[in-house]
Every structure is written in structure tokens, then in C-alpha cells.
A and B are shown apart, each in its own frame.
Chain A
Amino acid sequence: MNLKNSDKDKGEGSNKINNPNWLERLSKSNDFIHEHTSLKDEAPFWISYYRTLISSDILHKDVLPYLHEHLSLEELKSSIPVQEIIFTKDEDKIIQNILNGSLAIQKYQYDEDCLLINIANSKFRDVGMATMESSALGPQLGFIEELDTNINLVRKRLPVPELYVKEMKVGELSKTKVAVLYMNGIADPENVNTVIQRITDIQYDQIQDSSYIASMIEDNSNSLFPQSISTERVDRVAAGLTEGKIIIVVDGSPNLVILPVTLMESFIAMEDYSYSWILSNFFRLLRLAAMFISTMLSPMYVAIMTYHYELIPARLLETLVGSRAAVPFAPFLETLFLELMIEMVKEAGIRLPLKIGQSLGVVGGIVIGQAVVEAGLTSNVLLILVGLGSLASYTSPVYKFSNTIRFIKFPVIFLAQWFGLLGVFLAFLLTEIHLLRLTSLGRPYLSQYPIRNTSFQDLWVRLPFSMQKENPTTLRPQKKWKSTGKGKKMGPANDFYE
């Protein structure tokens, strides 16, 4: 019979009497199903799958109807209307595919030949708004947890064959799909190779998020500063690609990783490009100033109130000293107390469910703050400073970076207590030294030194589009010019007037 024939043909050199190895391994789980398509023995097919992984809809509508006929596996392959069908007898491949939601079809229970039909249940949330990096203007689209959809979103924005996707599997247990995206002909091949090399070198059981990969491959994992940007904004990713940046997409993570980046990019919102260049410069510098306010304001308060009373202007003296007159703690303890309280309110606000979190802000911010001042535990000037500082820490459009700012003021407060303004300056100096040494994929992170022309086209400041002509040179892009005008002056399109 057909059945016997095939068994004999393919049986060469393998153990044909026992169950195939994979069947034994997989059937230990209760949600694994291995069954005959009919009660009668002469029915042709055995199917096996994980009940929890497949879409029963597709199984019943598109696959099962074909399994009543006596067809060979090849015939079956060509007739079943499912896109991804593989014919194989490689055990590893079979296991892998079944685990990813494939249905295995065998002619005979112990047959080695196997037809794998991908009927995975791929129900993910719909593509929606970017919630963490929202903006008033500009595209609202955000990535979701599925790799293919994410790549699809990027490809829609950059429909060119030069957009290369390199896929890998990372994680001994999680087998997470990781894709590296880059523009061939723009991105520096050295950067690309470094990223791919570092990702393939990862040996770890599980990858749950793109941040795992980002922190595993960053240049200095002891730094407070994230040397890559995690973003859920499609426009940010697409813009980065065209400049020669490399994107890492991880299956199951709505955040894509952009590499290499500079510090200043954490102050750039995609919304900046929706405004006139003058406005966007204002916002960019405002965010930069906000970082200094957030990290320096309360340490300055500690330093001045503890050591440098001479610096207080005569007219401010009464306000500052009067507000502190009844406070029983040293300025340091007072500040630490209030800062920790605010951080707790923020942390609780993030952890709590949305509805409770909203009311918490009011309770924490106003009620506790007011009560603390009334009780005379802190001065109300400090309450203003701390409130302003914590507000300023959230102006950075990159969430990871704003958390860095949130943290960084604490060591500065300690230094301010130990050394006064000297300590504040010391903190600034040490941070600056650290940032100057820091690299992202071997490229300077601070982008302050060496000074590059392109840093003043679209990094520290944003010039009008007609003057942003070069791709950032720190990335060593293979394509130098952004505009087709090359080195020439790019005025308004001339043919319009002709």
C-alpha cells in the first residue's frame, strides 16, 4: 500500500520502529495533541499540534477538510490554502515549528516525513497610538509586540530594497526572534557587523524585551546613561534608518532599539520637526535647560543653605531664611526627605492601576506637600524647587533618559552636602568626564568633542531643512548628503518657478 511504500522508501538509515523522537518529547505536555483524523484506521493522516498555539479556526476551515482524502503529502502541500507549509523530516525543525504554532501531518503514526503547516494563532493587539511617547502633532503610530507587524510598519515608511533585515534567534529557552534593520549603502557596515556580532554572542536563557538586548550589547553597561534609544515611534525609527542608524527589533517588544545615539538625541522629540526651526530650537534648548534644573536645583539649595549664605541676595534673604526658620532638620535631610517623597509618589503612580494612579497624583502632590510644609518639616521654597525639578525631569522625550535624570540628582545632593558648591561642580565635572568617555557602538556619545559641523545642523540646534544637508558624520554614514541637492544650496524647488 501507499502507506507501506512510503515507509520503506524513507526508512533508510533511521529508526523506523520507534516513535519519532520528537513525538515523545512533545507529548509530555497535556496541551499537545497527537491524533488520528478519524476513528477508522484506514483514514490517511495523523496530526499533532499544541492546542494552545494554533488557531482552531484555520485548522477546521482550511486544513481538516483536505485530510479526508487519500493524498500524498506533496499533493496535500499544494492543495491546502495556507501560506507557510514545509515538508521535512528534520527533527529539530519539526519541534521548532510545532512550538511556534505549526500543525504536523504524518501519513503514518511513526512516519518520519512530516508536513508542517503554520496555523499559529497570531492574535495581537492592533497597531495603535504611541502612548509613552505621545505628541500633539505628527504621526501617532506606535509599534506593537509582534515583530512582523513592526517590520511591516517600517517598510511601509521606507519602501526601498536597501532596507535590509537580518533575523536571528536569541535566548536558549525563549528563542526570541530578533531582527536587525539597517539601510544598506547608508549605515556603516562596521556598525552593522558590530551589532550582529554582539547579538549573536549573547548567551542567555530568555529575552523578554528589547531592553534586554540593548543593555546586553551596550558599550558600558555600568553607565547611568542609556547608550541606545528605545522608542515606540515609527517615525523616529524610520528617520534614524535614513541617517545610517541601526534598529534592533525584538519579537514581543513594542520598543525598538536605535543605535548608535548621542546624548543630545534624548532631547529631540519627533514633534520638533512639525514646527518652525526657531520654535523647535526653543523647545530643544528648553529641554536641555530642564535637565540642568532638574539635576542641579535641589543640590544648589542644599549647598547654598548649608554653606554659602553669602550668595543669597538681600531681598531673597527674608523669603529663604523665613521659610526655613522653623524647620528642625538640616537642609540636606529636608531635601532628601522631600525628594524621596516625590519619587515615591511618582513610583506609586506608575505601579498603580491607571484609575487609582490619577487620584494619587493629587493626593501625593498637593495634600502631602501642603501638609508637610504646614507641619514645618520642610520649607515651602524647597517644595517649589523640588516640584519644579521633578516636573523638569519629565521633559525629555525619551522615557529611559528621564529616569536617568530622576536618579542622578541624588548623588549630587550628597556631594552638595559634603562639599557645598564645590561638590555640585565636582558632580558636573565627573558627569562630563564620564560622558566624554562614553561611546555608543564606538561612536562618541556626548557629541560635544570632536566638534562636527553636522551637530549644528540637526542635533544641538535644528536648522531649517534647507540647511540640514548632511547626514550626521559621527555615524560614519556611507551616504553623505541628505538632500539630492548634494553640496549645492538647496533653495525652494526651482522648477516651480520655471
Chain B
Amino acid sequence: MMNRSAFCLFLILLLSGCNFLPTNIVNEIDMSQGVGYDLSKKSNIKGTIVFPIFKKDKTSTTEVRAAIGKSSKEIRTILNNETRYPLVSGQLRVALYGKNLAKKGINDFVDTINRDPSIGSLVQMAIVDGDANQLYKMKKFKNDNVSVHIQELLEQNMKMGILPQTNLQSFLFQFFQIGQDPYLPLIKKEADNIRITGVAIFKDDRYVTSIPMKDFFIFKALVDKNSIGLRQFILANHDKVVLETLKSNAKYKVKIANGRPEFTITLKLKTRLQEFAPSEKKRQAFDKKKYQKQVEQEIEKSALSMVSQFQKHSVDPFGLGAKFKEQFRGFNEKQWNEGYPSVKVYVHADVEILQTGSID
């Protein structure tokens, strides 16, 4: 009897080709690969969803749809009314936030990405200097996959360039960590191109300030382990030195005196000389020790100015508060926030030029 009913069940399953779970057959869904959120009028949000449309033996085209609503899922529901297949978000690659929205806080629109189990944590996030919707709608990318383009643009710069490593995972970590503020890349539509223009620094989930391109090198060295990148140093007497980092290591030391912390950041850089143009135009050997010293000074100077910029806006992307909290049991978040702008930070750079190329 038992066997017969089991057999019947099997037959039913077999003949119906039944699914136990809701299916998402790849060519019967519209996979959103990019989302964008901009501030609209009356505290509404303009949401943009980008999804590719695949055709047999043809290159795919990109569809950009926008709708105005109050929450991310509401926007998706509205957009679903105009797509051929149901919109799904498991292939999400990049999430962009307009600068104006970011100034008000992006937490509501990160939360939905965080909460959805089908979205991975390697989704790239960026702040758009301007309008995310406009960026997605660029004509140039009509037949190109704009979301993947932005994702790969950001990723290659993080891997090989001087952009600090960020993604959904790092953003959430920094956001929820007490005593640290997140940072995300800042991109901009410039003429016919998408460019990385800076790193947006947040206070909690609100965009506060940004650091320009020329400070990326030091910023990345301070926040990432083993960052590699290239930077040009114009030294005291207009000697131009271009160094490429081979290995870097930033160490944060906290010294607590009278319950007030003092930070010493030791930045060790192992570099390779890429270009050297002395001001005196005559052939001379590269004086390693001299230039190491000068570069160290240069780095220390710009690092300190960066720190004071952060202190002025009371943002803490280096996570100094978190490092302090690790060391000090009586850590009080409120007290720390109040005291942060006046905390003493020393930067000590240790630059070593390992390779000078095949000339010397």
C-alpha cells in the first residue's frame, strides 16, 4: 500500500514535470544588473533599473527603466507593470546613488540590497556626482552593458589602480562598525564618458565630503592592505619622482593618555621607481636616500592634511574610533564623537625604493 502510493506520487511528479519551488528560467526573467536611486521631488525617490535583453545570435541591448516611488520594492513593483518578464535582482552587479540622495542618507536603499538573499555581497556601490538615471541612460551604452561596464571600471581600478577596495560587504561592515564611517567611489558622467572622480566619505550613511583623485594613493595605502598604485611626487626643488607601490602596510598605534587617545600611523611602503625627472637637466644618478626622505615628508604632509580634513567634518573613514575601542575598555561612543575633531594623529611614513629600473 505504502509502496503503491509512493509510486503514484513519483508518477505524478514524473508526468507533470512538477517543480517544488518557484522557477526562474533564465530566458523568462528580466535580470536587473544595475539599480540607481536619485532624489525626486516631494521626498520621493526616482529608481532606475537596468536590465539586458538577450536575443539569439545578436548582441544584447540594455533596457533602462525608471519609476518614482517611496521604496525600492515599490519602484520594482511599478516597473514590473511595464516589463515583459518578471524583474529579478539576483544578477545585480552595481548600485548607484545620486549625490543629492546620498546627502540625505542611503541606508534605506542599501538595506533592501542587504536583505535580499539572492543578491551577493560583492555588488559594487558608487555615488554619482549628478544623476544616476542620466548616467545609466547614456546613449553610448545602449548596445553595451552599462552596469557591467561600471562594475568592471570600478573593479579594475580597485585591483590595479589607486581606488580603495569597496563593495556592498565593505560598506556594510564600515557602516555597522562603531567608530568608523564608510567610503565609496564617486563617479561622474563627463561628456561622453563615465569617470571616477573621487572617493565619497560618509558620516554614517550620509555623504559629507570627498577626497580628490590626487589623494587616492595615500588614502588607499592607509585603508587597504598591500595596496598597489602609482603616484607622482613633485618634491621641494621641482624634482619629479613617480613611484609605484609594490607592497604597503599601514599600522595604527593607539597611545592612551588620561583617557585621551593619540594615534600614530606608521605607513611602510616598498616601491619601485617608475619615472624620475630632476629639475637640473643633467645626467645624474638617482640618490635613493635623499628622495626617500623627501617622499616620506611629502606623504606625511598630505596624510596629515587629509586627516585634518576628516576631523573638520568629523568623519572617520580610517576607523580610528574602532581602533581606540579595541584598546580601551571605557570607550564611550558619544564622548569619542565629541572628542574626535581634536584628537592628535601622527603619521610616520617609511618609504623604501627597492627597484630603480634598468638605468642605474
Q: Which residues of A contact B21 (CB under 8 A)?
A: 307, 419-420
**Alpha-carbon distance A317/B52, docked complex (angstroms):** 10
Q: Do residues A327 and B27 form an inter-chain contact, with CB atoms below 8 A? A: yes
A22 on interface, CB distance cutoff 8 Å: no
Across the interface, name the chain A residue whose C-beta is closest to B14. Answer: A414
Q: Do residues A310 and B60 form an inter-chain contact, with CB atoms below 8 A? A: no
**Alpha-carbon distance A418/B23, docked complex (angstroms):** 10
B110 on interface, CB distance cutoff 8 Å: no
Q: Which residues of A contact B90 (CB under 8 A)?
A: 309-310
* Contact A318/B52 with A309-B29, A310-B118 known, Cβ cut-off 8 Å: yes
Q: Do residues A332 and B17 form an inter-chain contact, with CB atoms below 8 A? A: yes
**Alpha-carbon distance A123/B27, docked complex (angstroms):** 64
Counting chain B residues whose Cβ lies within 8 A of the other chain, the interface size class is 20 to 34
B45 on interface, CB distance cutoff 8 Å: no
B118: shortest Cβ distance to chain A, in Å? 5
**Alpha-carbon distance A418/B59, docked complex (angstroms):** 32
**Alpha-carbon distance A317/B119, docked complex (angstroms):** 16
B280: shortest Cβ distance to chain A, in Å? 51
Q: Do residues B13 and A418 form an inter-chain contact, with CB atoms below 8 A? A: yes
Contact of A314 among B19, B26, B93 (CB under 8 A): B93
Across the interface, name the chain B residue whose C-beta is closest to A330. Answer: B25
Q: Which residues of A contact B27 (CB under 8 A)?
A: 321, 324-325, 327
* Contact A309/B31 with A321-B26, A324-B26, A419-B20 known, Cβ cut-off 8 Å: yes
* Contact A317/B91 with A309-B26, A325-B56 known, Cβ cut-off 8 Å: yes
Q: Do residues B60 and A417 form an inter-chain contact, with CB atoms below 8 A? A: no
**Alpha-carbon distance A315/B25, docked complex (angstroms):** 18
* Contact A322/B24 with A314-B93, A418-B13 known, Cβ cut-off 8 Å: no
A305 on interface, CB distance cutoff 8 Å: yes
Interface set, chain B 74-100, CB cutoff 8 A to A? 88, 90-91, 93
A472 on interface, CB distance cutoff 8 Å: no
Interface centre among A320, A321, A324, A419 (most CB of B within 10 A): A321
Across the interface, name the chain A residue whose C-beta is closest to B28. Answer: A330
A326 on interface, CB distance cutoff 8 Å: yes
**Alpha-carbon distance A310/B13, docked complex (angstroms):** 26
Across the interface, name the chain A residue whose C-beta is closest to B10. Answer: A414
Contact of A321 among B19, B54, B57 (CB under 8 A): B54
**Alpha-carbon distance A327/B57, docked complex (angstroms):** 13
Q: Which residues of B contact A314 (CB under 8 A)?
A: 33, 91, 93, 145, 148, 151
A312 on interface, CB distance cutoff 8 Å: yes
Q: Which residues of B contact A419 (CB under 8 A)?
A: 20-21
Across the interface, name the chain B residue whose C-beta is closest to A419. Answer: B20
Interface set, chain B 1-31, CB cutoff 8 A to A? 13-14, 17-21, 23-27, 29, 31
A376 on interface, CB distance cutoff 8 Å: yes
**Alpha-carbon distance A315/B57, docked complex (angstroms):** 16
Q: Do residues A309 and B19 form an inter-chain contact, with CB atoms below 8 A? A: no
Across the interface, name the chain A residue whose C-beta is closest to B18. Answer: A418
Q: Do residues B60 and A306 form an inter-chain contact, with CB atoms below 8 A? A: no
A323 on interface, CB distance cutoff 8 Å: yes
**Alpha-carbon distance A307/B21, docked complex (angstroms):** 8
* Contact A320/B93 with A418-B13, A420-B21 known, Cβ cut-off 8 Å: no
**Alpha-carbon distance A308/B33, docked complex (angstroms):** 15
Q: Do residues B118 and A417 form an inter-chain contact, with CB atoms below 8 A? A: no
**Alpha-carbon distance A324/B91, docked complex (angstroms):** 17
Contact of B19 among A306, A308, A320, A324 (CB under 8 A): A306
A363 on interface, CB distance cutoff 8 Å: no
Per-position binary interface string of chain B over residues 98-122, scored 1 when its CB falls under 8 Å from any chain A CB and 0 otherwise: 0000000000000000000011100
Interface of B is mostly: loop
**Alpha-carbon distance A130/B298, docked complex (angstroms):** 79
B115: shortest Cβ distance to chain A, in Å? 15
A333 on interface, CB distance cutoff 8 Å: yes
Q: Which residues of A contact B25 (CB under 8 A)?
A: 305-306, 330-331
B55 on interface, CB distance cutoff 8 Å: yes
Q: Which residues of B contact A418 (CB under 8 A)?
A: 13, 18-20
Contact of A417 among B17, B24, B58 (CB under 8 A): B17
Q: Which residues of A contact B24 (CB under 8 A)?
A: 306-309
Q: Which residues of B contact A414 (CB under 8 A)?
A: 13-14
Q: Which residues of B contact A309 (CB under 8 A)?
A: 24, 26, 29, 31, 88, 90-91
Q: Do residues B54 and A318 form an inter-chain contact, with CB atoms below 8 A? A: yes
**Alpha-carbon distance A307/B93, docked complex (angstroms):** 19
Q: Which residues of B contact A307 (CB under 8 A)?
A: 21, 23-24
Q: Which residues of B contact A331 (CB under 8 A)?
A: 25-26
B13: shortest Cβ distance to chain A, in Å? 7
Q: Do residues A325 and B52 form an inter-chain contact, with CB atoms below 8 A? A: no
**Alpha-carbon distance A314/B56, docked complex (angstroms):** 17
Interface set, chain A 313-350, CB cutoff 8 A to B? 314-315, 317-318, 320-327, 330-333
Contact of B56 among A308, A317, A323, A333 (CB under 8 A): A323
* Contact A325/B20 with A309-B26, A314-B91, A330-B25 known, Cβ cut-off 8 Å: no
Interface set, chain A 399-421, CB cutoff 8 A to B? 414, 417-420
Across the interface, name the chain B residue whose C-beta is closest to A306. Answer: B23
**Alpha-carbon distance A417/B19, docked complex (angstroms):** 7
B90: shortest Cβ distance to chain A, in Å? 3
**Alpha-carbon distance A324/B57, docked complex (angstroms):** 10
Q: Which residues of A contact B13 (CB under 8 A)?
A: 414, 418
**Alpha-carbon distance A136/B289, docked complex (angstroms):** 66
Q: Which residues of A contact B148 (CB under 8 A)?
A: 314-315
Q: Which residues of A contact B120 (CB under 8 A)?
A: 310
Q: Do residues A325 and B55 form an inter-chain contact, with CB atoms below 8 A? A: yes
A450: shortest Cβ distance to chain B, in Å? 34
B15: shortest Cβ distance to chain A, in Å? 12
Q: Which residues of B contact A327 (CB under 8 A)?
A: 27
Per-position binary interface string of chain A over residues 199-237, scored 1 when its CB falls under 8 Å from any chain B CB and 0 otherwise: 000000000000000000000000000000000000000
* Contact A310/B91 with A331-B25, A414-B14 known, Cβ cut-off 8 Å: yes
Across the interface, name the chain B residue whose C-beta is closest to A321. Answer: B54
Contact of A330 among B17, B20, B60 (CB under 8 A): B17
Interface set, chain B 142-157, CB cutoff 8 A to A? 145, 148, 151
Q: Do residues B56 and A312 form an inter-chain contact, with CB atoms below 8 A? A: no
A415: shortest Cβ distance to chain B, in Å? 10
Q: Which residues of B contact A417 (CB under 8 A)?
A: 17, 19
Chain A residues packing against B (C-beta within 8 Å): 305-310, 312, 314-315, 317-318, 320-327, 330-333, 376, 414, 417-420
A-B contact pairs, 13 of them (CB 8 A): A307-B24, A309-B31, A310-B90, A314-B33, A314-B145, A318-B52, A322-B58, A324-B26, A325-B27, A327-B27, A330-B25, A331-B26, A418-B20
List 17 additional contacts besides A308-B24, A330-B23; criterion CB under 8 Å. Answer: A305-B26, A306-B19, A306-B23, A309-B24, A309-B90, A309-B91, A310-B90, A314-B91, A314-B148, A318-B54, A321-B54, A322-B55, A330-B25, A331-B26, A333-B17, A417-B17, A418-B13
